[in-house]
Every structure is written in C-alpha cells, then in structure tokens.
Structure 1
Amino acid sequence: MRRLLLLLPLLLFACAPKKAEAPAQEAQAPLALQVRVVEAKRGVLEREVRASASLQAERDSLVAAGAAGRVLKTLPAGTPVRAGEGVVYLDPAPFQEALEAARLNLRQAEANLERARNQLLGNRAALQAQLEAAKVQLEAAKRRYEEGQALLQAGALAPLDLKALEAQLRQAQSAYENAREALSRLERAEDLRLLELQVEGARLQVRQAERNLKESVVRAPFAGEVVEVFVKEGEFLGTGSRAFRLATTDRLLAKVYLPPEKASALGPETPFTLRQNGQEVAARLLRKSELPGQNRLVEVVLEPQGALLPGPAEARYRERVAEGVRLPAGAVRIQESEAVVYRVEDGRAWEVRVRLVAQEGTQAVVEGLPEGAQVIYPVPEGLKDGDPVEVLP
C-alpha cells in the first residue's frame, strides 16, 4: 500500500496534459541606417597661396649731383616737387666765374684766329710775287747754263766758267722750291687750322661751364615727393654723390618673388589680394620677369586697387591644384592604403575604390567615380559594404 501511494503522484504527473510549446521567434531584418549623401561633381580644386610682398613707389630714384660745390640751400624732406624743380642748391659764384673765364678764353682764341686770317691774306700776295721772281730767275739761269754748254763744245768757254753757271742754276732751283713751299704751306693754312682747333676747344669749355652752372641746382627728374635729403647747408657735395631721394607716393607697386614654376601659372586673370595692417585690397598682375634672378626667383609686380602704405605686406591668390570629381575630404576613407568611398545605390551602401588625386583643406579630387554618383557624407562609424541605408533629405 505504501508503494502504491508513492507511485500515485508520478502517475498523475505523467497523465497530466502537456502545455503547448512557444513558436520559434522569426529572424528580424536589419534596420536601414540613416545617412546623408552628396553628389559627385566635376570641378577644379584650388588652394590659397600666401607670399610676402613689398610695397614700393612706382618710381624711386637716388638723385646724384652733376657738379661739385658747397650746398647753399635744400628743400626739406616730405616736400612735393614738380619735374625739373630744384631741390638742392649749390653756391653759383664759382660756376659763374668759371663761365666768365671760359668766355674770355674763347674771345682771345677767336681774335688770334682772325688776326691769322688777315695775315694770311697779306702774305699770300707777297709769297706769290716771290714765287714768280724765283721762277724768272730759274728760267734765266737754266738758259745761261744751256748756252754755256754750247760754248764749251765750241771751245769758246772754259770749263770753270761752266761750273759757275751750273752753281747759279742750282741756286735758282733752290730759291724757286723754297718760294713754292712757302706759298703751299700758306695755302694749307697749318697754323690757321691750329688756331681753329683752339677756338673749338674754347667753345667746348664755355659749354661745359654753362652746364656746370645749370648743375649747381640739383633738380627733380620727375614729379614726386622728396623722401630724404643726404646733405645739409654748408656741406660740400661732390660730383656723383647722392643729393636726395625722390619717389612717387600717389601710386605704389607690390613686388612678390616666386619660384619659376609658380610664377608661370599666373596670368592677367589671376585675382590677387594684398593684406597690410588688417586692411585688404584687390590687386592685379602688372608684369613679371621672364627669367629668374640671382636668387632663382621670378619678380612678380602687382598693382594695388586700393590705398596702402609703403612697406611689407602679404599677397594672396588662388592656385590650381587639380581638376576632376570633387568630394568633401571626409567622404574619402583610407583602408589598407587604399582610398574608398561609399556610393548609395538601390537602398544600399556600396564600397567604391578610388584614386585620391589631391586634397586641399576640406575638399578632395578623386578618380574612378562617375559624375552624379550619390556618395555618403559624412560616413557613419561601422558602415560596411552592402549595408542597407536610408537617405535623409
């Protein structure tokens, strides 16, 4: 009986109806990741280039003295002057005295020349008469000598007498040659030519003295402003020494020195800006040297379109880096040394390997991606190839 009572609960448990088992949970589809996209468009990637510039006057000249003298007066620095206006004045007295002396020498030389010409006219007639007389004497001596030769052959003249006639002939020939040479020398006017050269030299000295007198005032070669005066009143200024510095202040030019490869890419259409003391003005390319200088840099000259001050400044312009399909740099990921982007197509993100051509700031240019493709940007963390995505507007 006791055994039966023990088995009864087991039999009741075995005969009790079984509870229905819960159905297996169905597999849930992954949720679409919400992303934003940008359209891949073709464009040019540029970057801003900054370079040191120096603003200088368009014309800046160190004016030197053309004559030596003691400074009598100067204009103060900062004085605007016109072209040809005097800035440094030398004592004119020594230059005026030198001019008077040169003019006196010229008058003396001209007087000597005039006297020589008058003497030439009077001497010509006398020398001509001497030449004619010498010619007559020569012909008479020649005729007597010929007659003496005939008499000697006839035995009517002694040989000694013929020798005397020959000596007379030679003397007449010498007198004739001397008279002809004197007349020829007079006609050549060698002494007269020497006096003419002395007159030319005296005239040259007068012109030099007049020029020195003009150089006693050191003048401005162009209109501008006296930037600096290098001499003071009472000092001696030598020929060729710096007198003052003159510059044009109404127009400044900016000079920038760039490597040849960068300068060659610049043209009249390149926009420039110049920054100085917080002020920024536009500028245009005026000119650039064709060949690099000793520092192997090309001088680029810019013309500011606004008012700036002489001195240092900063030049800025946009430089072309690359051209191609442009994307935000954050849309490109580097995976195992390869650049990839995620393109949205048919509701999924597909990994596309591209070649990163260039990157500048927040922009990049890639190859291997068609224009118009929808590229995920920004790229969510954990995004994988083939993940379903939902594009947010």
Structure 2
Amino acid sequence: MRPMASLALSLILLLSACAPKEAKAPETPPSPTLATEVRTVRAQSGILEREVRASATLQAEKDSLVAAGASGRVLRTLPAGTRVQAGEGVVYLDPAPFQEALEAARLNLKQAEANLERARNQLAGNRATLKAQLQAAEAQLQAAKKRYEEGQALLSAGALAPLDLKALEAQYRQAESNYQNALEALSRLERGEDLRLLELQVEAARLQVRQAERNLKENTVRAPFAGEVVEVFVREGEFVGTGNRAFRLATTDRLLAKVYLPPDQASALTPETPFLLRQNEREVRARLLRKTDLPGQTRLVEVVLKPEDTLLPGPAEVRYRVKLAEGFLIPATSLQVQEGETLVYQVKEGKARKTPVRLLAQEGGQAAVEGLDEGAEVIHPVPVGLKDGDPVEVVR
C-alpha cells in the first residue's frame, strides 16, 4: 500500500508544476481630484447705507385763521380757493354803520373843540372881572372889619347896644365870606381847571374819531399775507362779531413736511442728508430745515423738511438713507461662520482659501467688512462642502 500512495503524490506534484500560471492584474494609478466650479465677486470699498421710510405730514408754511376786526353784516366774500395778495380784501362788511359812527364822532370832536375855544376866549375877560370882584370884596371886608372894631369900642363905652354890635359882626363875617369866594374863583381861573377839563373832552372826542376811522377800515377783512383762501367761515347776509373767525388763509405753494422720529434717528440727520418726499406717485426732493432739540410728549423729535417742489397739503412718505459703515462691500451670503469666526473664501492660485474678516454692518443683502484687499475675488455663492485648499475653477 505505501508504494501506491507515494506514486499518487508524485503524480499530483507533477501535474501542478506543469499547469500554466494566471497573469497578475496591473495596478491602476489614483485618479486626480476634480476642481469645483465657482463664481466670484470683487470686494470694493464703499459706504453701506440703509433706506429709512417714515410718514410725514405736509402743512402750509403759513396757516392763519383770520378774525374780523369789527362787528357788522357781511355784504360779500371771496370764494375758497382764491389766491390773494397781502392786504387784499376777502370778507366785506356793510360800511354804512361805520361811516355813520365816524360822522357822529367828528361832530362830537367839533363840539368839544368849540367849547374849549369859547372857554379860552372867556378866560381873559373873566380874569379882569374876577380881579375887580376880589378887590371890591377886599375893600368891603376892610370896611366891615373897621365898623365892627369901632362897635366893640362903643359897646365898652356904653354908647352902643349889644344887638347893634351883633349886626356889625354879621356884616363883617359876610364880607369875609365874599372875599374868600372871590379869591377862590380867581385861583381856580388861574389854575385852569375848567379849561383842562374841556381839553380832556377834546382828547376823548379825537380818540373816538380815530376808533371810528379804524372801524371803517376794518369793515374789510384783509389777508395778512399772500396765500390761498382755504376756507371761508361766514356767508353773505350773516352777522359777524369782533374777534370771530372770518376765513382761513394758507401758503399752499410753500409747504413744510413734518416728520416725528426717535431721538437716535433724528440725531443722525444733517443738512446734507438727502430726503425724498413721495405723494400720489409724485416724488420731490427735500432738505432739512430744522429739528427740535428735545423729544415731545410722544418721546419723538419733530423734524421739519422743506420740499424743493410743489406738493399738496396732507400725508406723504419721506425716504432718506443713513450711513451704517464704510468698508469692503460684498454679498452677505458670501460670509461663513465657522467655530465662532466670520470668514469668506477667496480664490488664490486656483484654490479656495479661508480669509477671516470683521463684519461692520449688514443691510439689504450686502455686508461691509474689514480684512480684505481692494479687488479681492470672493467666492459667491459658496458651494456646499467647500473646504480650505480645495481646487476651484472660476466660471466667468
């Protein structure tokens, strides 16, 4: 049995040696990494602004409720919408009562002047008469005094009855009173009290004449400035009293726009800030005229704008732009945040390179950043999965 096993083993080995060997497959080289197609934008320095919109109210630069200066009945009025010049009449009152009052005041003045003139003419004659009366009263007083003194002496000597002395004393007292009256009349004439009273009456009459003349002028309610009659509050035939409003006048061709903004927004506005007013599909430029220093009860600051063209009174929309930052402007979607760091991908030597940047401001799809060079090629949009160092191909 052993010689047979050895023979079989030798036969198997011989067949294995004679069998053809299989060819070994050649090794394939690794395929090269494909470049990612990207688009880029160039970073350019500029100012990032924000457009602000707010509600505004257009009001007349001058708007006045004109009142009647005198009472009277309305004869006629100008219709609303009429443009008038300063001093032009708008509401006309019946002038007849004012003319009659003026004539009566002039007559009173003439009468007062006549009384004063008559008093002045009488003054010279009265002075001489009063002086003569004073001298006569003084002589009568001296004579009555002398008779009274003589009577006292006769009474002491028993040559005159007491009753007769009483009569002499009464005459003396009467003469003394007459003298005092004459002296007072002359003094009053010299002081000119009666004349001064007549002069005051003349001044009062002149004042009434001036008042009547002024009322006659007030029978026409006039425009205090050039503008448009917006509204008339009285009609023909109606009675209007002194101080009652007659019409409303406004400078509709010179309007002011009032805007109410938070203090932080208002403080950023300057006379160089360009404004745009929009009303009924019409746009007009405007400039800053003034603004209040402190906010009002609404905690807002009143900002007044001056339109450069004509608009209508009423609501409008104001637009203006405020500066947010100055830097390199790129699309906001090109910014990436990785591990708390803001960066962009630039194309350098055919590869994507991460570049850290500092975000200054962002508005309306744009961002202002620092950390780039002028004209740097920033990848936008950023492909998903792009990594630092990946080969890229810029598609123009």
TM-score (norm 2): 0.81
* Structure 2 CA distance for aligned equivalents of residues 319 and 198 of structure 1: 72
- 8 Å contact 2:288–2:304 — kept in the other structure? yes
Name 2:373's counterpart in structure 1: 371
CA distance in 2 between counterparts of 1:320 and 1:227 reads 41
Do the aligned residues in 1 keep the contact of 2:344 with 2:378 (CA within 8 Å)?
yes
The Cα offsets for residues 295-350 of structure 1, whole Å up to 9 and x where unpaired, read as 34333333333443332221111111222333221111234554322233444333
Partner of residue 299 from structure 1, selected from 299, 302, 305: 302
**Residue 266 in structure 1 maps to residue 279 in structure 2:** no
In structure 1, the gaps of 5 or more residues are 152-159
- Tell me the CA shift for residue 46 of structure 1: 0.4
**Equivalence for 2:253:** 250
> Is 1:113 aligned to residue 101 of structure 2?
no
Change beyond 3 A, Cα 1:391–1:181: same
Change beyond 3 A, Cα 1:124–1:382:
same
Q: Aligned AA for 1:126?
A: T
Kindly state the Cα deviation for residue 48 of structure 1 after the two structures are TM-superposed.
0.8
How far did 1:146 drift? 12
Question: Match for residue 204 of structure 1?
Answer: 207
Amino acid at match of 2:220: V
- Name the counterpart of 1:157: none
- Supply the RMSD in Å over aligned alpha carbons: 3.7
Q: Give me the whole-angstrom Cα distance separating, in 1, the residues matched to 2:216 and 2:334.
A: 79
Per-residue deviation, 1:39: 3.6
Residues 64-98 of structure 1 deviation map (CA, whole Å, 9 limit, x = unaligned): 11112222212222223232222212222222222
Name 1:354's counterpart in structure 2.
357
1:285 aligns with 2:297: no
Q: Give the counterpart letter for 1:371 in structure 2.
A: D
1:184 is matched with 187
Q: Residue 357 of structure 2: SS of its match in structure 1?
A: strand
Deviations 1:247-288 (A, max 9, x none): 234333333222333223223322222222222232233343
Query: Amino acid of the residue matched to residue 195 of structure 2?
Result: L
Distance 1:190 1:291, change over 3 A: farther
- The answer to whether residue 57 in structure 2 is matched with residue 54 in structure 1 is yes
> What is the aligned residue count?
387
TM-aligned CA distance change 1:198 to 1:371, over 3 Å: farther
Distance 1:299 1:336 in 2: 46
Paired with 1:176 and 1:352, the residues of 2 have a C-alpha distance of 125
Moved more, 117-126 or 170-179: 170-179
* 1:329-376 residue CA offsets vs partner (Å, 9 max, x unmatched): 111123455432223344433333433332100111234x14334432
Say if 1:173 and 1:296 are closer, same or farther in 2 by CA, change over 3 A.
farther
Change (3 A) 1:387 1:67: same
| Aligned counterpart, 2:156 | none
In 1, the alpha carbon distance for the partners of 2:274 and 2:11 equals 104
**Structure 1 length normalisation: TM-score?**
0.82
Q: Residue 295 and residue 183 in structure 1: after superposition, are their counterparts in 2 closer, same or farther (change >3 A)?
A: farther
Q: Of 303, 315, 325, which residue of structure 2 is paired with 1:322? A: 325
- 1:87 equivalent to 2:90? Answer yes
Q: By how many angstroms is 1:142 displaced?
A: 10
Matched AA of 1:265: A
The 1:291/1:173 distance shift into structure 2, 3 A limit, reads: farther
Give the aligned partner of residue 390 of structure 1.
393
- Distance in 1 (CA, whole Å) between partners of 2:128 and 2:263 is 82
Corresponding residue for residue 238 of structure 1? 241
| Alignment correspondent of 2:46 | 43
Percent of residue pairs bearing the same amino acid type: 74
CA distance in structure 2 between the aligned counterparts of 1:355 and 1:145, rounded to whole angstroms: 128
Structure 1, 54-63 or 170-179: larger mean CA deviation: 170-179
| Alignment partner of 2:337 out of 334, 339, 352 | 334
Structure 1 match to 2:157:
none
Measured against aligned partners, the alpha-carbon deviations of 1:112-141 in whole angstroms (never above 9, x if no partner) come to: 222222232222222333445566778899
- Secondary structure class of the residue paired with 1:274: strand
Letter in 2 for 1:378: P
**Which whole-Å CA distance do the structure 2 matches of 1:52 and 1:111 have between them?**
70
SS in 1 for 2:201: helix
Matches within 5 A, 1:102-251: 102-132=105-135, 179-251=182-254
CA apart distance, 1:29: 4.5
